[in-house]
Structure 1
Amino acid sequence: MAAGQENLPNEAAQPAAGDLRGQTLDDLIPESAVENAEDWASREEEAPSQPVVVDPAPVSDPLDPLQDTPSSFDLDEALDRLDIAEPEKLAPDADRPSFADIDAPTLVDLPDLVEVEISDQLILAFPAEVARFPEEERFIARFRALSAIEALGTGEDTVPQLAARARSDEDLLAAMLRNYGYYSGEIIRQLSGGRRGFADEAERGDEPAADRDPKVRFDVLPGAQYTFGRVDLGALDRLNQEKRSPLVDAFGIAVGDPVYADTIVAGESRLRLALGENGYPFGQLGEPDLLIDHSREEGDLTLPVDPGGQFVFGQVVSDDPDFLSGRHLGRIARFDPGDLYKTSLQADLRRAILATGLVSSVAITPRAVTTPSGDNEPGEVALDVAIERAPLRTISGAVGYGTEDGFKLEAGWEHRNLFPPEGALRLRGIVGTREQLASVTFRRSNFRGRDQILSVDAFASDIETEAVDARTVALRGSFERVSNLLFQKPLSWQLGAELVYSDERNRVTDGITRPRQEYLIAGVFGRATIDGSDDLLDPRQGYRISFFAEPEFSRSLSENSPYLRARVDASYYQPVGGTVIAARVAAATVVGADLLDVAPSRRLYSGGGGSVRGYGFQAIGPRNAFDEPEGGRSLLEAAVEARIPTGFLDGAIEVVPFFDLGSISSAARPNFDVVRAGAGIGIRYKTSFGPIRVDVGVPLNPAPTDAPVVVYVSLGQAF
């Protein structure tokens, strides 16, 4: 066989490569195959009668890398012979934009960021320009309280949880952005350090490749802040301008305000309250709906409101009129029939009924009596009061010992509604070393008005104090308007009269008995208190001024002695940081009679827990030849103390250093014959009903009979 020739099997015979280059598809597929494709495909091929001889001279292809290239190969000539047809130019499609018409995408313009380190593992980054996110401080404070990572703490055992909590915090930050109206904001989370396999490597004792101190950083990109587009308050918009304005103003959301989710909740609460405060007891609010429109960057708020008509107060109706009548409850109320309905006044009535101590529960329900007629004729509501009686009888007792009083046994019985409404009867008795007493008291609370008290007290006593030994029978009555914990009044007052029979003398000392002297005393008295303080039992700021005057007529040893007792007390409270500086001054006088014409029990004394601490009760004053305090006709007192808070028991403990000063004179004007000073330190334990006071006082210039240390325990501040 000649070189360059190859015999091919009959079934695989193919035309020579040189013969195929000029043939077309029509040459290879005959016309008969097109007309009847199935017959042509199924026919048996006839073997060629003679083998095909391949041209021994192969065609040289300069582009074939497997073919040997002659040394005289010319690349430029080969490229010239390579003929590539130029493609036809495509016609533009009218329905498709050209590349020139398509704007190139703009890259995000990231603002400059400032990092805020929340914890060792958590960092937030905010725009450096404050105007981009003015809510940053509130945002951070809220995030600290809600963050899953912040609650995680630090330590190697917390690292595997960091990634999961980072995803949770990412969702939290996005939700918080929407809460402040940034609905197009973006949160970018970055977690530094590896974390996979950390626990496994640690268990094997291997040195882990992961970062042992990973950190999470969130870039907070607020974007545009959305504002309220439309605010629809339902039927509220159909009210006239005069009635609608206070309700809309209370809601406090207007078109153009930032879309704060918190303001919607707060506005709903304010509107509900405003409806009740403007005469709409049956107003109803539906669920708020906020529709966000990203194209306008606005939110449309819809809050269905049905005012339900405006009403005024009618009658108060009690479901137990024999116990507390509707008429009496109407006197307790701070409104009159015809006044515009207010939820706050209804709530105040409920608190006042509870404050009587006669009921255990109260429910007040407004009931429409007449319906509104037009815009100017409100309807009328009656208040149905359902009460449940509380236990009315109280038995009390106490046993104690004091350095001033000795042993004391006290018992009491009280019925708080024996004479309805609110007519109480109290029996009280004391048996002790220095005091014996029996008293009966009638007291009617809320007498003909709120916080007005009528009381009559009859008692007999035998009392021995540091200065006086007196046996007394007295009848005393008063009518007062009081200030209480429920409603602290700027002005409270008391008017009263008393009739006293007393058989008394100065205290018996060293076995020497002084003669007793009988006194019959009648007087009328008045008291007024101006209260500008911020708390009744524990004031921290403000002032109080109290005035007392009582003209008296005394008859003893067939001698008549008219005189006037008067007193002024003033106190001032000023906070300095967390400490309260409190100061007090007092002045009193007895004018119109000589000292010996005034019964010893009606003279002026100083000393004790509410006076000059460090001294016994009534232990300060001029003394007679037996070294007994005999009292005086003028008094001056001053005190200052610092109420310093501590961190003990969640701040319930205060430490109180104090300094007190007192002077008693025999004359009607102070002459400073006797001046005593005391100092010490006290503890206050704050409770829900006022501070419990424990003071330890030391006399600075004591008399020979004064104790070196005196302890006082009571409820409330010293002044």
Structure 2
Amino acid sequence: MSFSAARLALAARLLSAGLVVFAAGAVSCLSASPVSAQQSGGTDGGAKGEAERIDYSVTFDGLAETDADLEEEMRAQSLALDLIDDPPRSAAGLRRRAERDVERFGQVLRGAGLYDGTVRFSIEEAETPRDGNREGGARRLIYHVDPGALYVIEAIETAEGPDAPMTPADEGTLAAIGLDIGQPAAAQPVITAEGALTRRYRMRGHPFAEVARRQTVIDRETKTMTVRYRLAPGPLAHFGAMRIEGAERVEQAFIARHAAWSEGARYDIRLVEETQRDLASSGLFESVAVSPVAVDDPNAVDQSSQDEGIAVPVRVELVERAHRSLGFGASYSTSVGPGVSAFWEHRNLFQSGERLRTTLSASPIERGGEANFRKPFFRRDDQALLADGEIKDTTTDAFDELRASAFIGVERRLSDVWTVTLGPTLDLIEQETDDTGNDQIALVGMRGNLRRDSTDSPLNPTRGGRLDISLTPYTDIGATASEFVSGAVSGSRYLSIDADSRFVLAGRARLGAILGAERREIPAGKRFYAGGGGSVRGYGYQRLGPLDGDLDPVGGRSVMEVGLELRTRITETIGLVPFIEGGNVYSEDLPPVDELDLLWGAGLGLRYYTDIGPVRLDVAIPINKRRNIDDSYQIYVSLGQAF
């Protein structure tokens, strides 16, 4: 017992001593922790830890002014430049960044056809400290670039199949793939040509063609490159059955009529792409994918069409969108006042893409409604049935009119950009003017339109142009029995000055004439007028042309307008548009060439770009301001570009 008690007493003393030592050590560690943080370079070490970061600048040496594009690409690929606002903590960290850049820059040089190019780097102390300017950092990272000789393409060879010998590409192949002998041996054109070569085969009946291997061989002595493409063309094929997936409320027969090919015709990828574009532009689908279906046995030839190879089905994968929509619009101009409109549209009325759109609109000068119906594939695949109806009550300084009108006709597509429309019209008019009093008129006409549209957008075009030629003979089947012909030519053109379409030059012109009747015999609503937001900005609505004794417009038998805009995009959503426009209306049946006397307006517009088109605010002044007729300025607000 005494031995055990002694051992217990000794253990107690040792435990007490250990606790004292542990406590002392803890106090010592706590007191030493700030010093340890500074020594370790931690971020909590205050100014000293921050000072250990290596600020630096980056420069390139050895590149000529003609190598500006090369330097720009290197800067875009540089890790050191990308992380310059996050300096490394040591010189070794800066060297690691530079070493990675050297690898990247080597790829840039080879991609540009500079296969002998070299890049090395050096790090020097800057003459002046940073002083808040990153370009004057504490270190100078200098990349020494020697581009070397530019390699050119000496030969382009192709082969079909795994064992076929390589042969020089013919002129047709070179033109199709965009390569030529003697051009710089840059990487991107060689890669792009691979896709073009594959596409060429898919245009010629091989839906599954691909480049099995692309090989480039450089000769350092002659500074040339040989490019070789080994193709796997796959089987020759013709179009088989169409397989439609995802159609719910749209008739499959209607979808099948969009096919640009005939079953049994040789396969051509361009027809597949055209079909996909047509289906996408119908407005019925959220997404459209058209692609050939790989056959189980590619060697099984359709015996009914030996020359055309195998029959390849085409899959059409669709996701339908909502077919009904409701929308609202608003506009304002100082000469007209505010205007509002609302529309309802059904794009699949009878399950075959029939579109019905009804619109109600109201402004101080015009109230009414209209309905427009369009049925595609009417009797022909390239033809549509059109039907329009309209009732409008108009009150202007020129005339008061209540009009009901109707049109029914056909629209035929002549090509990708040309369409023609033809059909009879009927206008029932009750009008009141200062010169003719009250009249009731019944006009029968035959409307004809020839249109060309190559623009890239309906609301905000940046390329292409539009042309509209209209001609309508009218006969009044009422008391006057007058006859006249109204015609007009209008066009617009859009030119992108830069690749990103941030600067677009847009111009337009309009010329109209009415033949066969005097002005008094022509209903006021069928005469020509000019001035206002859709015409010559800076002048009031319909204020150009002949005026009566009360300075009210009376309209004319001919019109001429021109306009020019420079559409500049300041940001992705904001744009400025300076513009100038001119025009006039004439009593003669043709504009007098020797006395056009155009009235000019100019101004500046603000654009706010949205997904559905730009919101437009224009302020314009009349350059040829007429006393007691024209205001000092006009303001216009609406959706979409002016033209």
Instruction: Tell me what 1:655 maps to.
Output: 577
Instruction: Tell me what 1:367 maps to.
Output: 293
Q: Tell me, yes or no, if structure 1 residue 588 matches structure 2 residue 473.
A: no
* Structure-1 separation of matches of 2:84 and 2:242: 58
| SS of match in other structure, 1:559 | coil
Mapping for residues 337-376 of structure 1, pairs under 5 Å: 337-367=263-293, 371=301, 376=307
Mapping for residues 287-686 of structure 1, pairs under 5 Å: 305-319=231-245, 323-367=249-293, 371=301, 376-398=307-329, 403-406=334-337, 408=339, 410-430=341-361, 433-447=364-378, 452-481=383-412, 489=417, 491-506=418-433, 515-530=437-452, 545-556=467-478, 558-571=479-492, 582-635=506-559, 637-643=560-566, 645=568, 648-650=570-572, 652-665=574-587, 670=592, 676-685=599-608
* Structure-1 separation of matches of 2:223 and 2:605: 62
- CA displacement at 1:529 relative to structure 2: 3.4
Instruction: Tell me what 1:66 maps to.
Output: none
Instruction: Tell me what 2:23 maps to.
Output: none
* Structure-2 separation of matches of 1:375 and 1:124: 64
Larger CA Rg, structure 1 vs 2: 1
TM-score of the pair, normalised by structure 1: 0.66
| SS of match in other structure, 2:635 | strand
| SS of match in other structure, 1:609 | coil
Q: Per-residue displacement from partner, 1:597-636 (whole Å, max 9, x unpaired)?
A: 221111222212222212232233333344432222222x
Give the letter aligned to residue 358 of structure 1. L
Q: 1:697 aligns with which of 605, 613, 620?
A: 620
Q: Does the CA-based 8 Å contact 2:254-2:353 persist in structure 1?
A: no
Give the letter aligned to residue 350 of structure 2. F
Q: Per-residue displacement from partner, 1:655-690 (whole Å, max 9, x unpaired)?
A: 313142313326666496996443333234455665
Identity %: 25
- CA displacement at 1:311 relative to structure 2: 1.7
TM-score of the pair, normalised by structure 2: 0.72
Q: Pick closer, same or farther for the CA change 1:692–1:338 going to 2, 3 Å.
A: farther
Q: Does the CA-based 8 Å contact 1:317-1:326 persist in structure 2?
A: no
Q: Does the CA-based 8 Å contact 2:508-2:564 persist in structure 1?
A: no
Q: Pick closer, same or farther for the CA change 1:311–1:688 going to 2, 3 Å.
A: farther
* Structure-2 separation of matches of 1:230 and 1:640: 50
- CA displacement at 1:323 relative to structure 2: 4.4
Give the letter aligned to residue 301 of structure 2. T
Give the letter aligned to residue 164 of structure 1. R
Q: Does the CA-based 8 Å contact 2:238-2:264 persist in structure 1?
A: yes
Instruction: Tell me what 1:172 maps to.
Output: 104
- CA displacement at 1:152 relative to structure 2: 4.8
Q: Pick closer, same or farther for the CA change 1:687–1:148 going to 2, 3 Å.
A: same
Task: Using CA pairs under 8 Å that are at least 6 residues apart, name the structure with larger relative contact order, 1 or 2.
Answer: 2
* Structure-1 separation of matches of 2:223 and 2:244: 56
Q: Does the CA-based 8 Å contact 1:360-1:388 persist in structure 2?
A: yes
Q: Pick closer, same or farther for the CA change 1:694–1:525 going to 2, 3 Å.
A: same
- CA displacement at 1:580 relative to structure 2: 5.6
Q: Does the CA-based 8 Å contact 1:312-1:341 persist in structure 2?
A: yes
Instruction: Tell me what 2:49 maps to.
Output: none
Q: Does the CA-based 8 Å contact 2:566-2:579 persist in structure 1?
A: yes
| SS of match in other structure, 2:482 | strand
Give the letter aligned to residue 457 of structure 1. D
Instruction: Tell me what 2:209 maps to.
Output: 283
- CA displacement at 1:360 relative to structure 2: 2.0
Q: Pick closer, same or farther for the CA change 1:703–1:565 going to 2, 3 Å.
A: farther
Instruction: Tell me what 1:268 maps to.
Output: 194
* Structure-2 separation of matches of 1:593 and 1:342: 55
Q: Does the CA-based 8 Å contact 1:644-1:654 persist in structure 2?
A: yes
**Long gaps (5+) in structure 2:** 1-55, 131-136
How many pairs does the alignment contain? 571
* Structure-1 separation of matches of 2:528 and 2:189: 61
| SS of match in other structure, 1:352 | helix
- CA displacement at 1:554 relative to structure 2: 1.0
Q: Pick closer, same or farther for the CA change 1:407–1:351 going to 2, 3 Å.
A: same
* Structure-2 separation of matches of 1:677 and 1:296: 64
| Comparing 275-284 and 292-301, the one that deviates more | 292-301
Q: Pick closer, same or farther for the CA change 1:223–1:390 going to 2, 3 Å.
A: closer
Give the letter aligned to residue 366 of structure 1. P
| Comparing 402-411 and 381-390, the one that deviates more | 402-411
Q: Pick closer, same or farther for the CA change 1:378–1:238 going to 2, 3 Å.
A: farther
Q: Does the CA-based 8 Å contact 2:617-2:638 persist in structure 1?
A: yes
Q: Does the CA-based 8 Å contact 1:533-1:543 persist in structure 2?
A: yes
Q: Pick closer, same or farther for the CA change 1:137–1:376 going to 2, 3 Å.
A: farther
| Comparing 542-551 and 176-185, the one that deviates more | 176-185
- CA displacement at 1:398 relative to structure 2: 4.6
Give the letter aligned to residue 413 of structure 1. W
| SS of match in other structure, 2:564 | strand
* Structure-2 separation of matches of 1:535 and 1:395: 22
Give the letter aligned to residue 554 of structure 1. D
Instruction: Tell me what 2:41 maps to.
Output: none
Give the letter aligned to residue 100 of structure 2. S
Instruction: Tell me what 1:711 maps to.
Output: 635
Q: Does the CA-based 8 Å contact 1:562-1:593 persist in structure 2?
A: yes
Q: Does the CA-based 8 Å contact 2:534-2:642 persist in structure 1?
A: yes
- CA displacement at 1:228 relative to structure 2: 8.9
Q: Per-residue displacement from partner, 1:438-472 (whole Å, max 9, x unpaired)?
A: 43432213545667442112232222133221112
* Structure-1 separation of matches of 2:140 and 2:313: 67
- CA displacement at 1:290 relative to structure 2: 7.0
* Structure-2 separation of matches of 1:695 and 1:435: 22
Q: Pick closer, same or farther for the CA change 1:224–1:717 going to 2, 3 Å.
A: closer
* Structure-2 separation of matches of 1:261 and 1:448: 51
Q: Pick closer, same or farther for the CA change 1:657–1:228 going to 2, 3 Å.
A: closer
* Structure-1 separation of matches of 2:180 and 2:486: 63
